[in-house]
Homo-oligomer: A and B are copies of this chain.
Amino acid sequence: MGMKVTIYDVAKKAGVSIATVSKVINNNTGNMRESTKQRVKKAMEELNYHPNIMASALMGKGTKTLGLLVPDISNPFFSEIAKVIEDRAHEKGYSVIMCSTDENEEKEKKNVELLQSKLVDGFIVGSTYRDKSIVQNLTKAGVPVVMLTQDDPVIDVSKVFVDDFKGGYEATIHHLQNGHHKIAIISEQRALASVKRTEGYLQALKTYGIQPRQEYMVRTRGTIANGIKAFGNLFQLPEPPTAIFACNDQLAIGVMLGAKEKGIKIPEQLSLIGFDDTILARATYPRLTTVAQPIAEMGKTVVDLLIEEIRLGCSKKERILYNPELIIRETTDKASKPDHIAKTE
């Protein structure tokens, strides 16, 4: 009972031609006798027939599969959004192949090639491609691509992302309003989003007339381990910062862990803000103040957009910008010594 059942078996069983079966499969039953249709359907069920997607893909009908490229699936931000993407895709009859590129150039290229050979109808690119030509070649070849998270002007496709500048700005303003002057930023090395967040950070400082300091601006990969390291370096400075804006929650957790180890109290001695609002932000104690991205919305939108472009056969080149939201929890507080002001009080 292991033999694969094909369209021929169904046709024979239903006493029709394979063309008729094909029409039933594809719902081209415009002018087909209802009885015929039913007979075919019954035969398909009885034989437990499932059309071979490969064969229809060969005919240019696509594979009903989406490729999802993320820099690191073990980062909760990406695993959370991957879940949303996968759900939405399935709702629409698509499956998704996911690749973690690990910010590794070779892997980036290999992953795309792996998915390319028509295995995939379109790509959602959440990774930070150093070699832009990888993505550019895709679009040049007519493969639908939507970028997630990165608003890279060099790559001319639809994009779904939050206003990173605003997120960085608001986070920093919050520190500032709490009386902090010595505010550090830990940003993700390769992420374009982090560049924007840094610009927001700088703008906020400027608004308050504060000169940015090079030693307060750390760039690194966005892992917990690097957050710990970054904190260690910042903490060793002759004048350590009293507040930190970490460009993702993992880095922020790293800071919390590092601070804990050194006996630095958060938020009493160090105010901290993360970015993403992943599960991590709620799981820590104290709970992390962070800039939320609308993960559910973004995931859903990026899928809908991509599928639409697949159907249309061309890119709509939309730039869908979401609003980040500062979620104030327990890692931020007033500066304990608001400098000169404190002295006069």
Spell out A's residues near B (CB within 8 Å): 1-2, 4, 50-55, 57-58, 63, 65, 72-74, 76, 79-80, 82-83, 86-87, 90, 95-100, 102, 107, 110-111, 113-119, 140-142, 224, 253, 256-257, 260, 279-280, 282-285
Contact = CB atoms under 8 A, between A and B. Distances in A.
A63 to B, nearest CB: 7
A50 B116 contact: yes
A73 B142 CA distance: 31
Nearest to A113: B50
A4 B140 CA distance: 12
A117 B51 contact: yes
B100 A86 contact: yes
B73 A82 contact: yes
A107 B119 CA distance: 23
Contact of A97 (B55, B96, B118, B260): B96
A65 B114 CA distance: 10
A100 B72 CA distance: 18
A271 B74 CA distance: 28
A34 to B, nearest CB: 26
7 contacts: A65-B119, A73-B82, A74-B76, A95-B99, A224-B279, A283-B284, A285-B285
A81 to B, nearest CB: 9
Contact of A52 (B50, B58, B99, B107): B58
Given A73-B83, A257-B282, A2 B54 contact: no
Contact of A283 (B86, B98, B253): B253
A275 B80 CA distance: 20
Given A54-B54, A74-B79, A257-B282, 17 more contacts: A51-B117, A54-B63, A54-B119, A65-B97, A73-B86, A74-B83, A74-B279, A86-B98, A86-B100, A87-B100, A90-B107, A95-B97, A96-B97, A224-B282, A253-B283, A280-B283, A283-B284
Contacts of A224: 279, 282-283
A140 B3 CA distance: 11
A289 to B, nearest CB: 15
Contacts of A54: 54-55, 57-58, 63, 117-119
A76 B76 contact: yes
